[in-house]
Amino acid sequence: MPRCRAWLFCVLVVLALSILPAPAVAQSGGPGQPLIHVVQRGETLFSIARRYQTSVDAITHANGIADPMRIYIGQQLLVPGVPALPGTWVTHAVQPGETLEAVAVQYGLPWRTVALANRLLNPHLLTAGQVLQVPVGDGVFLGGALHTVQPGETATGLAFRYGITLWELREVNRTTDTVLLLYPGRWLLIPGLRPSWMPAPFAEVNLDPLPVQQGRTLRIRVRMDEPAQLRGRLFDRPVAFVEENGVYYALVGVHAFAEPGLYELTLTAPGEGGAEVAVSVGVIVEQGAYGYERIVVPASQSELLAPDLVATEQARLEELRTLFTPQRRWRGPFLQPVDAAVSSYFGTRRSYSGGPYNSYHAGVDFNAGKGAAVRAPADGIVVLAEPLAVRGNALMLDHGWGVLSGYWHLSGFEVAVGQEVRAGDIIARVGNTGLSTGAHLHWELWVGGVSVDALKWLAPAYPWDDMEPTPAP
């Protein structure tokens, strides 16, 4: 009879998990704090509001949503008026490759407890950056690394292998059995080790920032157990890695018009015996906060918008902005290229001469006077210095790692193609050439061939906060 009851209880738990709605995760562990709901596939603001017995208007105003019809998978919504669960709770940010079992073991909890606390529709599907609410009771975080028991392994052998006592192994895994019961596939927490949820030869995958906004730069940092030929793919584009100080880095530009939602980053590397080992990590793209501008093109310059002319110039730039130089020349935050105020920001949705808002400002405009000095924001090599029809006198620098910068509408050049420049060197002068209605500098930055917000690269911690500077070339 007891066995039947236990079996019936397990069945009821599984059924409960299968019908529970999508995950609601708490941003704060204290009682009375509001909930944060992570949007799942197929959800609408109406279904979310109905679930929490609130209104669409309340959620819309609490999150500053301009269009209630446009929410996206992975978006974190504040649910006003709905308190978090009482008691002692902590929040846990899911790491790339981490599983629900891995999270639960760290806090000494059954995985079903964590699944129920977060109302997980699919407990086996977590997204990197997702926030989980964990009922820890005494607030103890065990920490350590997980080991999956393999056939033939023993508790004594594992304790010897990791340099811990058999008692520590039993204690941290919350068992009072005299003999630690091992079976293939069981998770064991090994105290004192750096956590790693990756299959060998992957040791750690870190993405920053998560989520990432449209028009920003995503940095991927990978540590391997041994040197490897690492490859990646994201947004249906290959991701190029460079090894530096034992760490593999890649920078990915997120397009300003990228559809908000969940994307898959795939990493591959040769494993034991030469077989390919693949790791998939979810990347959430958030909508950026961009304004709108109407641009009136003078009749005397309207011919510069001819499709064939624009296409020819785009092809010329495409040859250069996708360059990838494995040597990183920049060694910290970029410098502002001209001493002037910003007159137009990156990402602004633009309408030309009354047309639709189907384009965006791919750079940053500075309200600088004609002849003002334009300085290199970082070390680089000049790869373009020539007049173009639409962009006027144009100059481009290659800074390495797929990072290039461009400067349009110049009055003249102070450097030549192939020349090396240092941060702060004068490279050109502000002008009013090409499709321009007044003297100004248009500054553009590409990462992996995609235009990104250059102003973010002026911040001290973006995206090199923990990267050691490279020596000057």
Integer Cα distance of 131 and 127 in angstroms: 9
Over range 187-200, report the average pLDDT.
68
User: Is residue 195 included in any domain, yes or no?
Assistant: no
pLDDT tier, 301 (very low <50, low <70, confident <90, very high otherwise): low
CB 442 within 8 A of CB 418: no
Task: Give the range with max mean pLDDT: 119-123, 267-271, 275-279, 404-408.
Answer: 404-408
Residue 300 has pLDDT above 70, yes or no: no
Task: Give me the number of domains the chain comprises.
Answer: 4
Q: Are 340 and 454 in the same domain?
A: yes
Domain final residue, candidates 286, 309, 339: 286
Higher-pLDDT residue of 310 and 22 is 310
Domain final residue, candidates 222, 255, 286: 286
Mean pLDDT of the chain: 79
Span 135-189, pLDDT tens digits: 765 545 555 666 777 777 888 888 887 788 888 787 777 655 556 778 777 767 7
CATH of the domain at 446: 2.70.70.10
pLDDT at 407: 98
pLDDT tier, 112 (very low <50, low <70, confident <90, very high otherwise): confident
pLDDT at 137: 59
Over range 204-223, report the average pLDDT.
89
Q: Are 127 and 149 in the same domain?
A: no
Residue 38 has pLDDT above 60, yes or no: yes
Residue 315 has pLDDT above 60, yes or no: yes
pLDDT at 101: 80
pLDDT at 199: 76
User: Is residue 183 included in any domain, yes or no?
Assistant: yes
pLDDT at 5: 46
Q: Are 349 and 434 in the same domain?
A: yes
CB atoms within 10 A of CB 272: 8
Residue 4 has pLDDT above 60, yes or no: no
User: Is residue 293 included in any domain, yes or no?
Assistant: no
Over range 369-387, report the average pLDDT.
97
Integer Cα distance of 449 and 381 in angstroms: 17
Integer Cα distance of 366 and 345 in angstroms: 9
Q: Are 357 and 381 in the same domain?
A: yes
Q: Are 28 and 126 in the same domain?
A: yes
CB 138 within 8 A of CB 43: no
pLDDT at 28: 36
User: What does the chain come to in residues?
Assistant: 473
User: Is residue 463 included in any domain, yes or no?
Assistant: no
pLDDT at 196: 57
Over range 70-87, report the average pLDDT.
70
pLDDT at 405: 97
Integer Cα distance of 374 and 329 in angstroms: 19
Residue 128 has pLDDT above 90, yes or no: no
CB atoms within 10 A of CB 130: 23
pLDDT at 174: 63
Global pTM?
Answer: 0.67
pLDDT tier, 265 (very low <50, low <70, confident <90, very high otherwise): very high
Place of tokens 């070390």: 379
Residue 19 has pLDDT above 60, yes or no: no
Over range 192-200, report the average pLDDT.
64
CATH of the domain at 170: 3.10.350.10
Q: Which residues contact 143 (CB under 8 A, 6 or more apart)?
A: 106, 191, 195
Over range 345-371, report the average pLDDT.
84
User: Is residue 394 included in any domain, yes or no?
Assistant: yes
Span 237-246, pLDDT tens digits: 999 999 998 8
Q: Are 303 and 276 in the same domain?
A: no
Over range 60-77, report the average pLDDT.
80
Q: Are 332 and 454 in the same domain?
A: yes
CATH of the domain at 225: 2.60.40.10
Span 48-59, pLDDT tens digits: 887 777 888 888
Q: Are 220 and 242 in the same domain?
A: yes
pLDDT tier, 261 (very low <50, low <70, confident <90, very high otherwise): confident
CB atoms within 10 A of CB 430: 25
Q: Are 353 and 405 in the same domain?
A: yes
pLDDT at 178: 59
Over range 326-342, report the average pLDDT.
93
pLDDT tier, 25 (very low <50, low <70, confident <90, very high otherwise): very low
User: Is residue 472 included in any domain, yes or no?
Assistant: no
Integer Cα distance of 364 and 455 in angstroms: 8
Residue 17 has pLDDT above 80, yes or no: no
Domain final residue, candidates 254, 286, 318: 286
CB atoms within 10 A of CB 136: 18
pLDDT at 29: 35
Q: Are 80 and 166 in the same domain?
A: no
Amino acid making up residue 314: Q
Q: Are 181 and 222 in the same domain?
A: no
Residue 132 has pLDDT above 50, yes or no: yes
Over range 17-45, report the average pLDDT.
51
User: Is residue 174 included in any domain, yes or no?
Assistant: yes
Residue 106 has pLDDT above 80, yes or no: no
Helices (H), 198-238: none
pLDDT at 250: 95
Residue 427 has pLDDT above 90, yes or no: yes
User: Is residue 5 included in any domain, yes or no?
Assistant: no
Q: Are 63 and 162 in the same domain?
A: no
CB 207 within 8 A of CB 127: no
pLDDT tier, 15 (very low <50, low <70, confident <90, very high otherwise): very low
Domain that holds residue 228: 202-286
pLDDT at 145: 66
